[in-house]
Amino acid sequence: MNLTLKIWRQENPEAKGRFEKYEISEISPDSSFLEMMDLLNEQLIKEGKDPVAYDHDCREGICGMCSLYINGRPHGPDSAVTTCQLHMRKFKDGETVTIEPWRAKPFPVLKDLIVDRSALDEIIQVGGYISVNTGGVPDANDIPIAKEKADLAMDAAACIGCGACVAACKNASAMLFVSAKVSQFALLPQGKTEAKDRVKAMVAKMDELGFGNCTNTYACEAECPKEIKVTNIARMNRQFFGAKVSG
């Protein structure tokens, strides 16, 4: 495959960014998108040019680091996958592929395609945990939890914090992320003790950091690589308003 890559380049957070075009050839359709980026960087280094900076870690779809906006979609044209799981067969020979960083005020660009997503960590730090010392690991089925609730909690816990929901939302809302982190605890008995304080603190921090409101367009759910459902947002809203009313 031969491709034209239109990539956002930005030396540092203060620099003015711009798109630059690169030609790359003989790319295997079976290679991953990040393998293609590796080949591009090898080409740039041989030419004496600065390689493209981008984030990655596990390359197994579980760390959420590979946050690239590809042809107008977070993580690219495939569904329910991260960028590292995206294969080049999803593109056509001779196609122009546009690659950008996440576009959101709370995610400032650090360099090229790398953004600072520590805002999501700050939200977790104010409530995304259980602080009660529960002792050792209990035996299986020692704490009775309905299977439906356990399944919903596990589905919410699948969120990898990549920020695709923020990048997909026209308001840069983080509500899908926050609601998943609220739900994974709120649905379980261990998380109910701090439920009210947790949801109020996490929503307040989300607003403080500059994330927008939910647009109700379901773009976040459509682009989430782990298929987190917007029903979590409804659950979080019910918990939040209940916590506000009860004080």
Tell me how far apart the alpha carbons of residues 1 and 102 are, in angstroms, rounded to a whole number. 26
Tell me how far apart the alpha carbons of residues 68 and 82 are, in angstroms, rounded to a whole number. 9
Q: Which residues pair with 96 in a beta bridge?
A: 4
Which residue, among 18, 73, 22, has the nearest Cα to 225 in the 3D structure?
73
- Inform me whether the pLDDT recorded for 15 exceeds 90: yes
Q: What is the DSSP letter of 144?
A: -
CA distances to 120, 134, 141, 147, 150 from 144, rounded to whole Å, are: 32, 15, 6, 9, 10
Q: What is the mean pLDDT of residues 98-107?
A: 97
User: pLDDT by residue (tens digit) across 30-81?
Assistant: 999 999 999 999 999 999 999 999 999 999 999 999 999 999 999 999 999 9
User: pLDDT by residue (tens digit) across 197-222?
Assistant: 999 999 999 999 999 999 999 999 99
Instruction: Kindly report each contact of residues 113-118 with a partner whose C-beta sits within 8 Å and lies 24 or more positions away, as own/partner.
Output: 113/7, 113/8, 113/52, 113/53, 113/54, 113/55, 113/67, 113/68, 114/53, 114/54, 114/55, 115/67, 115/163, 117/67, 117/161, 117/163
- This prediction has a pTM of 0.93
The token pair at 171 is 């308001």
118-132+142-246 is classed CATH 1.10.1060.10:
yes
Kindly report, as residue ranges, where domains of CATH 1.10.1060.10 are found in the chain.
118-132+142-246
Kindly report, as residue ranges, where domains of CATH 3.10.20.30 are found in the chain.
3-111
Which residue, among 182, 172, 156, has the nearest Cα to 243 in the 3D structure?
182
Which residue, among 127, 225, 123, 126, has the nearest Cα to 173 in the 3D structure?
123
Q: What is the DSSP letter of 137?
A: P
Residue 136 CA to its chain's centroid (Å): 32
Question: How confident is the model at residue 134, as a pLDDT?
Answer: 62
CATH superfamily of 3-111: Beta-grasp domain (3.10.20.30)
User: pLDDT by residue (tens digit) across 108-162?
Assistant: 999 999 999 999 999 999 999 988 776 676 676 677 889 999 999 999 999 999 9
Which residue, among 69, 64, 37, has the nearest Cα to 53 in the 3D structure?
37
